[in-house]
């Protein structure tokens, strides 16, 4: 697997509305799977699918406590996301060319 395959896997994990909703729910504190089901209004198989993708990408970690698995955002995983964004979005050294903000370069913005 080359580095761009790794980057794509991480961003694929972020590229789903349900997974973004899960991350938003987890941003304040860890939650067990049961609590996530209640707050997100999705079925257990759907949640399991999304949690596997988030955990496999390293963005979320799960810890079994008794009969429940508690999920939280991985600081290291989110640090990796930010590092990747920085490495692929870093402006070129040559500042003599035309410049535009990121929002100006995105169609529809």
b/e 57-87 (16+ beta carbons within 10 angstroms → b): bbbbbbeeeeeebbbebbeebeebbeebeee
The domain containing residue 30 runs over which residues? 3-87
pTM of the shown model: 0.76
Task: Examine residue 81 and state whether it is found in any structural domain, yes or no.
Answer: yes
The CATH number of whichever domain residue 29 belongs to comes to 1.10.10.10
Task: Examine residue 11 and state whether it is found in any structural domain, yes or no.
Answer: yes
Task: Examine residue 47 and state whether it is found in any structural domain, yes or no.
Answer: yes
Task: Examine residue 16 and state whether it is found in any structural domain, yes or no.
Answer: yes
Tens of pLDDT along the chain (109 residues) come to 788 888 889 999 999 999 999 999 999 999 999 999 999 999 999 999 999 999 999 999 999 999 999 999 999 999 999 998 888 887 777 655 555 555 555 666 5
- Tokens coding 69: 């698995």
Task: Examine residue 95 and state whether it is found in any structural domain, yes or no.
Answer: no
Task: Examine residue 96 and state whether it is found in any structural domain, yes or no.
Answer: no
Task: Examine residue 57 and state whether it is found in any structural domain, yes or no.
Answer: yes
Burial of 21 (0-12, 13-18, 19+ CB in 10 A): middle
- Structurally, the chain folds into a number of domains equal to 1
């Amino acid at each position: 697997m080359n580095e761009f395959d790794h980057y794509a896997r991480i961003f694929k994990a972020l590229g789903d509305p349900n997974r973004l909703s899960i991350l938003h729910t987890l941003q304040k504190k860890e939650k067990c799977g049961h609590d996530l089901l209640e707050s997100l209004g999705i079925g257990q198989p759907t949640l399991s699918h999304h949690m596997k993708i988030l955990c496999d990408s390293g963005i979320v970690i799960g810890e079994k406590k008794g009969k429940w698995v508690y999920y939280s955002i991985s600081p290291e995983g989110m640090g990796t996301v930010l590092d990747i964004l920085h490495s692929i979005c870093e402006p070129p050294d040559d500042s003599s060319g035309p410049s535009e903000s990121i929002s100006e370069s995105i169609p529809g913005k």
